[in-house]
Structure 1
Amino acid sequence: MVLIFADDLGYGDLSCYGATKIQTPNIDTLAAEGRRFTDAHSASAVCTPSRYGLLTGEYPFRANGGEGIWGPCGHFQSLLIPTEKLTLGQLFKNKGYATAAIGKWHLGFGTGKTDWNKPLRPGPLELGFDYYFGVPKVNSGYPYVYVENDSIVGYDPSDPITFEKPFSETTTYPEAAGKKTANGAGGAKKAHAIYDDEKTGMLLTEKAVEWIEENKEKPFFLYFPTTNIHHPFTPAPQFKASSQAGLYGDFIHEFDWMVGELVKCLEKNGLAENSLIIVTSDNGGMFNRGGQDAFKAGHRINGDLLGFKFGVWEGGQRVPFVAKWPGMIEPGSVSDQLISGIDMLATFAAVTGQEIEKDQLADSINVLPALTGDPEGAVRESLVLVPRQASHVSIRKGKWMYIPKQGAGGFNGKPGSHGAGGPACVSHVGSENSDIENGKIKKGAPPAQLYDLEADVSQTKNLYHQYPEVVKEMKALLAESRSSSSSGKKAKNKQ
């Protein structure tokens, strides 16, 4: 079982989803030999809560005893997932699988304030993963080091990491690569010297291939959350200028290569015919420097969908989802079933033949029939959609999507800014929406939003006033879904 979890990969970023300025032959091959989903969604439109939802099967608004997880976690964040909670790692470990998480973690370490000079536990190893290697936070945020299992790679006790000046040197790149926060960590000079943005994608791939080789004689689960294609856009030199969409597209080309390397490793070791491979993303594409440069080059990061990362419009949380499983998934098939990242827990439980208690399954639904068959009805009837702002938590049921406020509940910066998004950027890219004119919400626009995604997946027309009875039903369903109990309310991590 290999779950490849891209960072900020938009619905329009793969050639099998319509991209023309970017080519993704390895992922396209997986789609041709497996199934491509057109109505798959991330657990959140934001990185950290999306990872929480994927690994736990629980809506991130239920985390922290009901306080929720809404944004990226900080430099000293304690582990956000209670160690007693069932995760994908523990699910597979319970069935005798070897388990590894290789890539971006971004879910915190330890209890209380993270002490980077002590073993980073609890962490991935306490959540069912036998092995961890990767970027502890995010490639745009310090500390710029790699972590293996529970230790900083290259750590020297005589040169501990500090968060005081003078700060240690780390790799820097031209402005065109996008935002990378200036290092706010000092000391640990050897560990900082090892870290290199342009080598990270290849390093993570090498570690994943090595781990597969070491565990090929037994069943295994590899969770591979990449740093591609989150800013800064730092592809290895051989991928630069390989696309027609700037560094943004080049970084996607590197990601596609990474997928190809894992597939080749499985094939080389005679494992490909007995492996389920899934490629998806933690949220939609972000309209940052790279996304804006790609747009200028003629690429639409989220295709024809409305909006961007952080917001609840479809562009923020409808994501690519490709699955290949020889003999189980029909080659070249396409599914319009509604599924979510939170559904992986229940689905993998079904794949491995495990009965899981309802409170541990949380909000996860078994969508295995959508992967391997062609169900007549919907495998998931409704789905809660979670953006950056709690005010804009929304609901999907069948063809209908209801948003309880105006706007998308994400970034609202104007084009040219790092935090670009919202109405101004909708108009900038030429998207149409009946509530928006010249980059602003119209005066007199409805107080909330209702869309028929079956007829209008681009969300051009708000039907709030046309279907008051549907609005009433969806509003009630959203309230019920947000108030329903879940195991996440039983435990609250210290912050």
Structure 2
Amino acid sequence: MKTFLKIVLVTSLSIASIHLHSQNKSKPNVIYILADDLGIGDLSCYGQTKFETPNIDKLAASGIKFTQHYSGSAVCAPSRSSLITGQHTGHTSIRGNLERGKDLEGQVPMDGTEVTIADVFKKAGYATGAFGKWGLGFIDSEGDPLNQGFDEFYGYNCQRKAHRYFPPYLWHNKEKVFLKGNDYTNKITYAPDEIQKATLAFITKNKNKPFFAYVPFVLPHAEIISPEDAVYNAFKGRFKEDKPFVMPNDYLSDYGPNMVEYKYASQLAPHAVYATMVTHLDNYVGQIMARLDELGIADNTLVIFTSDNGPATEGGADPKFFNATLGMRGVKRDLYEGGIRAPFIAVWPHKIKGGTTSDLISAFWDMKPTFAEITNVKELGNTDGISLLPTFLGQKNQKQHPYMYWEFPQAGGRKAVRLENWKGVIYNIEKKENPAFELYDLSKDPFETKNLATQNPKIVAEMKAIMNKEHTDSVLFPMK
């Protein structure tokens, strides 16, 4: 009888374990990959012709590519805040890049009361990890990633320190991990390689349970530098280098005993090195996808790839040379299309049809409601977003945004609205009493060259009303 009961108990536990494992794996893993300062035209699947990005192109061929996706903002921290909180920059707590204080590591922290995308996944029973650049709050602050729903963090807490690819240390949770040989004079250990190792280890460790990996790569943000490896050698001498980043330049400081860490290293071959950096990024994406295949979990993993804002011009970067905005007006810090239009690719085997394209108007703040619907989490806090799941699944019931809104309280104060095919932009809000309103019809003028504001006063008035409605006051980032 005891033997019989033992068999029954073991059998029951085994069935329960199988059932639990089945339940866990019915929830898809999610990997959200965020490039840094990568223009939409820096990918060959969107039109880059001077070099190729085969691994990211494969994502597009295997999934869905969006053509009208927008970043959260035109610079690093507010764009990430918009993503993490699911709110546009009129509502999210971090609306610009703001240091916590002179010579202090890290930026001012985001609001600790927000329900973040990591919180959504935690409510659904996921393991959560962030690997790369954070920039939303220093260690032990309310903005620390460990206080925003993440179980594990590895990388740069401070986005200013992320200007250097050979730093003395990175952060693993609350501890500094010193990198072999690096002391701001010697450049031995390439930080992105170490971050990639941590990303792959997290995926491997959590292969048997649902996980969310937020992977905000530093590449290809300046400084424009790379190891002199086989990737670099493939590009060395390929391009005309008519704009080396060398002295005199106020934002240049080379590695050495007197180096200023937030500035950038000189670079004689910025075109070749930039192509190398994007290629390294593409290779890392390929390694992530290969690891999913090796672990047998690719079919149950949603992978998303995008960029935090438009391409930069710092440190020798040359978006014009690479046509990084596909001819669209503006770059990083601009609220014209070139500054905020982002690549967006999603792959989910057996769920998302491969090789599809969507012109749905969408943005970073749509991620939180999308992830909440995927994980069946009802309590997602404040959001300005809509779920993109119907578009992912090829369904016809996709909700549309009535309009999109951005504000940028720095660079003189800037606001923008997307209303159907109309785009409204105001610059120098803080500097001028009555700043000029610009209005463009993106369906006919995607490069924003013909201002139609005077011919369309009703649309201008509607957009101004949207701007007033969607702006909430911020003590940290005051703006009219």
Q: Which moved more, 1:372-381 or 1:29-38?
A: 372-381
Per the alignment, residue 351 of structure 1 pairs with: 374
Is 1:224 the counterpart of 2:215? The answer is yes
Per the alignment, residue 368 of structure 1 pairs with: 389
Per the alignment, residue 126 of structure 2 pairs with: 97
CA contact (8 A) 1:100 1:132 kept: yes
Equivalent residues in 2 for 1:91-490, closer than 5 Å: 91-110=120-139, 123-138=144-159, 139-140=162-163, 145-154=169-178, 169-171=183-185, 199-236=190-227, 237-243=229-235, 244=239, 245-292=271-318, 295=320, 298-356=321-379, 360-373=381-394, 375=396, 379-387=400-408, 388-389=410-411, 391-405=413-427, 447-483=436-472
Structure 2: 5+ residue stretches without partners: 1-29, 240-270
Q: Which moved more, 1:142-151 or 1:214-223?
A: 142-151
Q: Which moved more, 1:388-397 or 1:2-11?
A: 388-397
CA distance in 1, matches of 2:390, 2:184: 47
CA distance in 1, matches of 2:39, 2:188: 21
The verdict on how the C-alpha distance between 1:220 and 1:377 changes in structure 2, with shifts beyond 3 A counting, is closer
Match 2:112 to one of 83, 88, 110: 83
CA contact (8 A) 1:73 1:108 kept: no
CA distance in 1, matches of 2:98, 2:40: 21
User: Secondary structure in 2 aligned to 1:146?
Assistant: strand
User: Secondary structure in 1 aligned to 2:234?
Assistant: coil
CA displacement 1:251-292 (0-9 Å, x = unmatched): 000000010000000011111111100000110001224322
Per the alignment, residue 437 of structure 1 pairs with: none
Per the alignment, residue 41 of structure 1 pairs with: 70
Match 2:79 to one of 50, 55, 61: 50
Count of aligned residue pairs for this structure pair: 402
Question: Displacement of 1:377 after TM fit?
Answer: 6.7
CA contact (8 A) 1:291 1:301 kept: no
CA displacement 1:10-55 (0-9 Å, x = unmatched): 1110000100112100000000000111111111101011111111
CA contact (8 A) 1:83 1:122 kept: yes
C-alpha RMSD over aligned residues: 2.8
User: Secondary structure in 2 aligned to 1:364?
Assistant: coil
Question: Displacement of 1:62 after TM fit?
Answer: 2.9
Question: Displacement of 1:82 after TM fit?
Answer: 2.5
Counterpart of 1:403, as a letter, is: V
CA contact (8 A) 1:370 1:379 kept: no
Counterpart of 1:278, as a letter, is: I
User: Secondary structure in 2 aligned to 1:38?
Assistant: strand
The verdict on how the C-alpha distance between 1:263 and 1:73 changes in structure 2, with shifts beyond 3 A counting, is farther
Question: Displacement of 1:373 after TM fit?
Answer: 1.9
Q: Which moved more, 1:370-379 or 1:316-325?
A: 370-379
Per the alignment, residue 435 of structure 1 pairs with: none
Question: Displacement of 1:231 after TM fit?
Answer: 0.4
Question: Displacement of 1:455 after TM fit?
Answer: 1.6
CA displacement 1:440-472 (0-9 Å, x = unmatched): xxxxxx921001111211112111122122111
Structure 1: 5+ residue stretches without partners: 111-118, 156-167, 173-195, 410-445
User: Secondary structure in 1 aligned to 2:82?
Assistant: helix
Counterpart of 2:177, as a letter, is: V
TM-score (norm 2): 0.77
CA distance in 2, matches of 1:144, 1:458: 42
CA contact (8 A) 1:56 1:88 kept: yes
Counterpart of 1:304, as a letter, is: G
The verdict on how the C-alpha distance between 1:476 and 1:492 changes in structure 2, with shifts beyond 3 A counting, is closer
User: Secondary structure in 1 aligned to 2:42?
Assistant: coil
CA contact (8 A) 2:109 2:142 kept: no
CA displacement 1:296-323 (0-9 Å, x = unmatched): xx41121111110011111111111111
Identity of aligned residues (%): 33
User: Secondary structure in 2 aligned to 1:343?
Assistant: helix
User: Secondary structure in 2 aligned to 1:349?
Assistant: helix
TM-score (norm 1): 0.75
The verdict on how the C-alpha distance between 1:241 and 1:122 changes in structure 2, with shifts beyond 3 A counting, is same
CA contact (8 A) 1:201 1:254 kept: no
User: Secondary structure in 2 aligned to 1:466?
Assistant: coil
Counterpart of 1:328, as a letter, is: K
Counterpart of 1:107, as a letter, is: L
Between structure 1 and structure 2, the one with the greater Rg is: 2
